[in-house]
Each structure stands twice: as structure tokens, then as C-alpha cells.
Amino acid sequence: MGDKVIAIDGPAASGKSTVAELIADKLSVPYINTGNMYRAVTLFALDSGVDLKNNCSDAAFDELLQKLQLDYKRNASGIYEIELNGEFPGNGIRSPEVASYVSPVAALPVVRAWLSQKQRDFASLGMIVMEGRDIGTVIFPESKFKFFLTATPEARARRRLGQDGENFDGATLESVAAAIAERDRIDSTREVAPLKPAGDAEIVDTTDMTIDEVVDYITGRILNNDSSRNDLPGAVC
């Protein structure tokens, strides 16, 4: 079933979320942002008083996860949004504090096992766009549509600096670039499901592309390659 998942992976601030959401919209399929799931777990841990600076361990999360109910539900506009113990956490998951702890949390095997199972369950929705770090490599390796988005570190830092509410006060291009580089380092060197392109993923360098160009390019690749889905909007066959 997972062969119908459109997997969009890539490093921090590579533009995945923006384009993945627009691609899903264009194809009229659900969009699932798995980064938000790791962020929600991190937010819950911080709100529960876990000292993530000194005690970011499987042991700290074993019990905590039993108290966490994480779902993806349609919000009032019909968009799938993450729900944390019955409530939409909104922008809380995008705070710079959550961003600074999410990569160590996402490296924990207990957390990955817990979230991976939930992510695989989305295959029951049929064709979806799922965005993250390991969708093409680990969650849905059978996917027929795998894209790995990249951009230069400078372009990514510029994009993140332009995102309201996601940076510490006084952030500069240098400090944002350093924070992104640190997350990339942790994400790509962890033992479980490290960030890397799947062998059969198409790598898309978005440095000099506009959002619309990336969306049109990827949507075109999907429509041209999926002759079985002539019900998709814009399909030519």
C-alpha cells in the first residue's frame, strides 16, 4: 500500500513543508508532515518538565510516551493537523526552543519506533504526500515517488531566518546557519534512520528555484509517471 505514498525528504529548511503542502493540495491528497510529529513529542517532553539538556534518553521517554496521545486530525479547514492529547498545538511546535531539542529527541530509538508505526498506518489513506527525513528510506521504501530536496546551507539559513516565530530573538544569518548545521549533523549521523537520500530518490536542488517551480516540477514528475491515476487533477492520460 505504501507504494502510493509520495515521499519528500530532505534536510532542515530545505523548503519541504511549503512545497509538500502545495503538492498535496494540487493533487487533492492528504499531506502529512512527520517533522511535526517529532516536534510535538519534543514539545510534550518540555511541557512535562523533562530536562532534555541533561536527560535526553530512551529511559526518559519510555514512560512519557504512554501519557501521550498523538493523532493527525482534519482541522476546521479540512487540513490534516497534528493533535496532541486532544488539542491542536498550533505554532508551539515551531518554536526555536523545540527546534533546538528536536534532533536529539528524534535520534532516540524509542521515539522513532513509536512514531514510525503511526506513520506507516497512514498508508491506509491511499495516495498521500508524506514529508520528513526517512520516508523514502525507512518508512515507505516501497514508494514509487521519492524526492530528496536540497539547497545550499546559505539558502536554507536565509529561508529559515525569514520564517516568523521560528528564530530566537536577535538571530542572525550566521546563528541560524549554525543551528541548522548542528541539526543536520545529528540527523545524518544518528544510528537509526539517518537523514540520507534513498538510492532510488530523485534529488532536487531548490537553491535557485522558486516555490512554484519546485511544486510544478515535482507534480509534473508524479503525473507523468503515474498512468494508473488518471483521476488526478491535471493528469494527461
Measuring CA to CA, how many Å separate 87 from each of 35, 95, 117, 224?
18, 17, 21, 39
For ligand CDP, which residue of 4, 26, 39, 146 counts as binding (CB under 6 A)? Answer: 39
Binding of ligand CDP at residue 137 (CB under 6 A)? no
Characterize 202-218 residue by residue with b for buried, 16 or more Cβ atoms within 10 angstroms of its Cβ, and e for exposed. eebebeebeeeebbbbb
Stretch that binds ligand CDP, among 30-38, 69-77, 209-217, 229-237 (CB under 6 A): 30-38
Nearer to ligand CDP, 138 or 223 (CB): 138
- Contact flag: residue 34 with ligand CDP (CB under 6 A): yes
Give least dist CB 103 to ligand CDP, A: 4
Nearest approach, Cβ of residue 195 and ligand CDP (Å): 7
Which x/- pattern, by CB under 6 A, does the window 42-81 give for ligand CDP?
Answer: ----------------------------------------
Q: Which of 102, 128, 222, 223 binds ligand CDP (CB under 6 A)?
A: 102
Cell reading at 144: 514509487
CA 172 – CA 43 distance, rounded (Å): 24
Instruction: Give the nearer residue to ligand CDP in terms of CB position, either 150 or 219.
Output: 150
114 closest CA partner among 153, 156, 155, 58: 58
Shortest CB 66 distance to ligand CDP, Å: 21
Residue 55 CB, nearest distance to ligand CDP (Å)?
Answer: 18
Half-sphere exposure (Cβ direction) of 129: Cα atoms closer than 13 Å: 26
Gap between the Cα atoms of 30 and 55, Å rounded: 36
- The site for ligand CDP (CB under 6 A) is made up of 12-13, 17, 34-35, 38-39, 102-103, 106, 132-134, 183, 187
